Amino acid sequence: QLQLVESGGGLVQPGGSLRLSCAASRFTLNYYAVGWFRQAPGKEREGVSCISASGGSTNYADSVKGRFTISRDNDKNTVYLQMNSLKPEDTAIYYCAAAHLMTTVQAMCVNHQADYWGQGTQVTVSS
């Protein structure tokens, strides 16, 4: 069974940083666009950031532009989300997802088009 596993979540104070990782098992992420999504209690799921299979295209939600950076290391079969200047409103469960390489980052982040989803990791920003 193909799996995506998120890690790196936790509790951080406002203004702090976290780096989330999304690792794939039983398949290579090289041929997939990968995205990070989040869902806070009582809110709809939001596309946070997505990256193309080649890494040449990225997409960010307006709420995280300038603070979050998505990257991928295909040798390690892992995609990262570096989150800086965290705010309480960033508190949510963060999920990674993978979509066939022909999926655009816009389609993935805006329409939530994905073939595989991880189980999520909790991020809590609080003093």
Q: Which two tokens stand for residue 2?
A: 């193909």
For position 71, what pLDDT does the model report?
A: 97
pLDDT tens digits, 18-69: 999 999 988 899 899 999 999 999 999 999 999 999 999 999 999 999 999 9
Percent with pLDDT over 90 in the chain: 90
For position 68, what pLDDT does the model report?
A: 98
- The contacts of residue 71 (CB under 8 Å, 6+ apart) are 51, 55, 79, 80, 82
Helix (H, G, I), strand (E, B) or coil at 106: helix
pLDDT over threshold 80, residue 1: no
For position 2, what pLDDT does the model report?
A: 79
Burial call 75-106: b when 16+ CB within 10 Å, e when fewer: eeebbbbebeebeeebbbbbbbbbbeeebbbe
User: Which residues, listed in sequence order, are joined to residue 123 by a DSSP beta bridge?
Assistant: 10, 92
pLDDT over threshold 90, residue 99: yes
